[in-house]
């Protein structure tokens, strides 16, 4: 339905080529409009004052100018969403004599506003589609970037996910973790940092000062610190475009009792999730989540369970990242002092298995309650346009 009636416009260099909308277009949803929907996705961190309308055909521009089309922009889940960017999008519409009332935007930052543009707020609505789309898209990215032709269908997606599952590239069950740890033991925690961020320098420095870095599974690509085999895997990515390797955490997860997640940013005044929590959930491990304040609330909103019954999660309530990091240092020391970590891990089985199963359900393209919720919100925006 989507493919014929609602064409997807794939944009150029500074906009993202994403599998997710192609998958979404194949889902069986009815939209409350007879207008053409021009659908594009862009990364806010790559967006500047360029006129993205130059990527559209004259026919598409005319449809928008005549009020016969709706421009739907996925401002892809990204911590760099700014009000100035929305103001630029408004100016670009006005320059082309396009009514901003015809624009719908999916955004993560609940502080973005405009008198005419219709916003669907990921965090405020609980949809967080960017997280799910990252999960939908990552398994096909290697094929997409390699230039393979063909449709990205739900059948292909499910087949791909099944192949990943069977080959244990991503998934580690609770029982696998338990048996491995009974036989080999494990280090206290793992922390994989693969992109430079200012707050990750803080993490690295704090853990080094606390003596918690060297005897755990910690790495920071920016500083040239890698775990065994990690450097080879990561260095091959630009050559092979094999993006699956970015999610290949299993060897380090098997050798860890806890995953400490270093999220993409720390400075927003609203919770933020990207794909990094897979490290814990899909490897059946407890998680410490180092991101913006109150991020764990968002996990609970999504139906996941956190670990407040088993260790102190007060770090998530601290207002500054430095304070959150200090609380995490204390927490990691406390975890390190647990005498019988195997019994401690066994006591968390119900939470670990719930999160593992819920992540796989969360991953399922259709039916999906998050997409269902999004479509309701999208239809509300469409009806307000008329």
What pLDDT score does 38 carry? Answer: 84
Tokens describing residue 329: 């240092």
Spatial distance between the Cα atoms of 331 and 336, rounded to a whole number of angstroms: 9
Q: What is the CATH number of the domain that holds 267?
A: 3.40.50
Both 123 and 7 in one domain: the answer is yes
296 found inside a domain: yes
CB 62 within 8 A of CB 97: no
354 found inside a domain: no
CB 327 within 8 A of CB 315: yes
CB 285 within 8 A of CB 191: no
Both 116 and 174 in one domain: the answer is no
What pLDDT score does 253 carry? Answer: 95
Handedness of CA 117, 122, 126, 129 (dihedral sign): positive
- Enclosing domain of residue 188: 168-347
137 found inside a domain: no
Both 42 and 116 in one domain: the answer is yes
Give the SS3 label for residue 125: helix
The residue among 158, 180, 102 whose CA lies nearest residue 381 is 102
CB 123 within 8 A of CB 110: yes
Both 254 and 321 in one domain: the answer is yes
Per-residue pLDDT of the chain (386 residues; tens, 9 = 90+): 232 344 444 444 333 444 445 555 556 677 888 888 887 777 787 777 678 888 788 988 999 999 999 998 888 666 678 899 999 999 999 999 999 999 999 888 888 999 999 998 876 554 444 455 444 444 333 333 333 333 444 455 454 445 444 445 568 999 999 999 999 999 999 999 988 888 999 999 999 999 999 999 999 988 999 999 888 877 766 555 455 556 678 899 999 999 999 988 787 677 777 778 888 998 999 999 999 899 898 888 878 999 999 999 999 999 999 999 999 999 999 999 999 999 999 999 999 999 998 887 765 655 566 667 777 888 899 999 98
Handedness of CA 257, 263, 267, 272 (dihedral sign): negative
| Helix ranges, 185-294 (H) | 198-209, 230-235, 237-240, 250-254, 278-281
Both 277 and 374 in one domain: the answer is no
CA distances from 98 to 23, 75, 84, 102, 133 (A): 28, 19, 19, 8, 29
352 found inside a domain: no
What total of structural domains would you count in the chain?
A: 2
Both 10 and 114 in one domain: the answer is yes
300 found inside a domain: yes
Both 114 and 15 in one domain: the answer is yes
Spatial distance between the Cα atoms of 128 and 298, rounded to a whole number of angstroms: 9
Both 174 and 243 in one domain: the answer is yes
DSSP letters of 306-359?
--TTTS--GGGG-SSHHHHHHHHHHHHHHHHT-S-HHHHHHHTHHHHHHHHHHH
CB 76 within 8 A of CB 107: no
Spatial distance between the Cα atoms of 347 and 86, rounded to a whole number of angstroms: 48
Q: What is the CA radius of gyration of the chain?
A: 22
What pLDDT score does 378 carry? Answer: 87
Both 110 and 228 in one domain: the answer is no
Both 22 and 120 in one domain: the answer is yes
28 found inside a domain: yes
Both 294 and 327 in one domain: the answer is yes
């Amino acid at each position: 339905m989507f493919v014929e009636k609602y064409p997807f416009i794939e944009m150029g260099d500074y906009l993202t080529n994403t599998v997710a909308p192609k998958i979404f277009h194949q889902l069986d949803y009815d939209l409350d409009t007879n207008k053409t929907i021009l659908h594009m996705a862009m990364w806010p961190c790559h967006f500047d004052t360029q006129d993205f309308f130059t990527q559209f055909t004259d026919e598409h521009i005319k449809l928008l100018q005549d009020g016969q089309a709706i421009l739907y922009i996925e401002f892809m889940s990204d911590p760099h969403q700014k009000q100035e960017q929305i103001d630029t999008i408004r100016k670009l519409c006005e320059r082309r004599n396009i009514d901003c009332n015809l624009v719908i935007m999916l955004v993560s930052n609940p502080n973005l506003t405009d008198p005419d543009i219709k916003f669907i707020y990921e965090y405020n609505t609980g949809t967080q589609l960017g997280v799910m789309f990252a999960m939908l898209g990552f398994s096909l990215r290697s094929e997409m970037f390699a230039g393979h032709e063909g449709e990205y269908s739900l059948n292909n997606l499910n087949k791909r996910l099944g192949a990943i599952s069977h080959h244990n590239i991503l998934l580690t069950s609770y029982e696998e973790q338990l048996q491995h740890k009974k036989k080999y033991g494990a280090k206290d925690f793992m922390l994989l940092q693969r992109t430079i961020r200012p707050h990750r320098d803080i993490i690295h420095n704090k853990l080094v000062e606390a003596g918690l870095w060297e005897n755990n599974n910690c790495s920071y690509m920016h500083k040239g610190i890698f775990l065994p085999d990690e450097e080879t895997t990561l260095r091959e990515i630009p050559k092979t475009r094999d993006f699956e390797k970015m999610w290949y955490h299993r060897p380090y997860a098997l050798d860890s009792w806890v995953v400490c997640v270093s999220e993409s940013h720390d400075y927003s005044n609203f919770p933020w999730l990207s794909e990094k929590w897979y490290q814990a959930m899909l490897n059946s491990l407890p998680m410490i989540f180092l991101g913006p304040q109150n991020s764990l609330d968002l996990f609970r909103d999504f139906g996941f369970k956190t670990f407040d019954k088993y260790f102190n999660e007060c770090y998530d309530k601290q207002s500054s990242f430095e304070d959150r990091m200090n609380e995490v240092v204390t927490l990691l020391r406390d975890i390190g002092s647990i005498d019988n970590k195997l019994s401690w891990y066994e006591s968390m089985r119900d939470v670990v298995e719930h999160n593992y199963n819920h992540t796989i359900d969360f991953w399922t393209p259709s039916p999906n309650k998050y997409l269902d919720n999004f479509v309701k919100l999208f239809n509300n925006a469409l009806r307000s346009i008329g």
